[in-house]
Structure 1
Amino acid sequence: MHIKLILSTTLLWSLTSFAAATAGYVPPASQEPPSDYSRSTGIRSGCLNQDESDTLIILAPQSYVGETISARPQFIWLMSIPSEIEFRLFEFTANGQVKQKGKPILLKSTAGINTLSLPNEQPSLTVGNKYLWQVAQRCPNGNNILERAEFKVVARPSSFNPNLNPKEKIEQYAQKGFWYDALSESLLVSSSGKLGELGSHLISSLAQSENPSDTSTLSNNQQIIILKRIESLEEISSNWR
């Protein structure tokens, strides 16, 4: 059975109408596909039982490699229930392998939007290098949940204007494809644990960008995973505003 990945007419209308007032996130022009390390993240049940919806989802591009201009980016995810999580960061080597950077970080994750900046004791990330971050939720039933995303650190454009208000700054990041910087900036003007209006629109834009234009090379399982992620992101955009 072939599964066609499309956003609904209603969803596209809502995205378009809101974008008329506020520019959304535009992914990098060259959308590099993720490696097999990230593609291994698949469909899984919730933490408590098989019928529960996702309790953990990374708020970053997963169907392609995201970008940031920060040497110490902020990593952001959503938890629907409080839980203990383990964070790990990896760097890709020249031969395409990954090596862990620093030690795993254990922390209590609250219900809502959670953030973690690269600790000061860890070296800054390098412009031009690609990285993978991973969040693992420890479930009481042993059915742990794992989410991964890949990103690159790129140089700051010389055309960037530093003298902008918060909304303009967010749009500047978003329009240039710097997802991590745009979402991180948007949370500065939102309530704790929430996305806020600007962050919510960024998540909707992200959902739209995760919808591939060509599904011919994807397996049925991969298509299901992507479609489920798009639906989850749209729910997050609405429910955690």
Structure 2
Amino acid sequence: NSGTTRGCDGGDIPLTVLASQNYVGRTTSTHPTFAWFVPDSKSLELKFTIYSRGSDGNFTEVRSMSLQSSPGIMKLSPFPEGEPGLLVGKDYVWQVVILCDPSYPSSALVDRAQIQVVEMPPDLQDKLDNAVDSAEKADLYAEAGFWYNALDEALKLAEESKLGEVASALLEDLAKWEKPEPSQDLTQEEREWIEKRMGYLIDIANVAR
């Protein structure tokens, strides 16, 4: 499981990507924004990678970027608007790795999540066209089940490295949605990890608000 190691400095909250671990998060954007929480105050080498999932189940690297970490909420739009982005109808996995000590790769912090790109529903587009601000758009996207769009709009309202009120509320909602159904085919270890992660999401919503 990812993210079981706390920060490089041994903080209370691990490196956490701001997305579901229990469900595949959706977006209508081929150029989505990704966000994650960095627990460490010092700047460290960070690697962001997106993989596409093939019909054979194998993964192919689509985009890889090296950055320096900064504490709190980091966000990244890895595909410039003029470039091709992700493909509609495809599933991807995105991963964030922080190298605590490049000499010891096993000490790295790792977390990842899935993202699925889908067509924009026409009725949702109509509502968005009439929305007055990013807060309303975030609510519309969240109601329609488009996590990545909702978070992107919410973070436009936040100060750098922070969530702001709208994104904090989204993260609290995500923590509730994460709770596994009794009928889900999960091991006890997987259930415990998801429930632990629900707590981390609440903690992040509070500390990064």
TM-score normalised by the chain length of structure 1: 0.78
Q: Name the CA shift for 1:88/1:150 in 2 (closer, same or farther; >3 Å).
A: same
Tell me if the contact between 1:131 and 1:151 (Cα under 8 Å) persists in the aligned partners: yes
1:106-145 alignment runs, 5 A limit? 106-120=66-80, 123-140=84-101, 142=104, 143-145=107-109
Which amino acid in 1 is paired with 2:75? Answer: T
Aligned residues: 199
Match of 1:169 among 137, 147, 152: 137
Equivalence for 2:159: 191
Tell me if the contact between 1:215 and 1:223 (Cα under 8 Å) persists in the aligned partners: no
Equivalence for 1:156: 120
Equivalence for 2:110: 146
Answer yes or no: is 1:206 the counterpart of 2:170.
no
Q: Distance in 1 between matches of 2:122 and 2:89?
A: 16
Query: 1:215 Cα deviation (Å)?
Result: 6.0
Q: Distance in 2 between matches of 1:194 and 1:59?
A: 13
Unaligned segments of structure 2, at least 5 residues: none
Query: 1:228 Cα deviation (Å)?
Result: 1.1
Q: CA RMSD in A?
A: 1.7
Secondary structure of 2:201's partner? helix
Q: Distance in 1 between matches of 2:69 and 2:3?
A: 21
Query: 1:44 Cα deviation (Å)?
Result: 2.4
Answer yes or no: is 1:237 the counterpart of 2:201.
no
Query: 1:56 Cα deviation (Å)?
Result: 1.1
Tell me if the contact between 2:3 and 2:16 (Cα under 8 Å) persists in the aligned partners: no
Which amino acid in 2 is paired with 1:235? Answer: D
Query: 1:192 Cα deviation (Å)?
Result: 1.3
* Off by >3 Å, runs of 4+ in structure 1: none
Equivalence for 1:93: 54
Answer yes or no: is 1:105 the counterpart of 2:45.
no
Query: 1:217 Cα deviation (Å)?
Result: 3.1
TM-score normalised by the chain length of structure 2: 0.89
- How far does the alpha carbon of each residue in 1:114-139 deviate from its partner, in whole angstroms, 9 at most, with x for none? 01102337521111100000000101
Which amino acid in 1 is paired with 2:203? Answer: E
Secondary structure of 1:64's partner? coil
Query: 1:86 Cα deviation (Å)?
Result: 0.2
Tell me if the contact between 2:141 and 2:149 (Cα under 8 Å) persists in the aligned partners: yes
Q: Distance in 2 between matches of 1:122 and 1:76?
A: 20
Secondary structure of 2:122's partner? coil
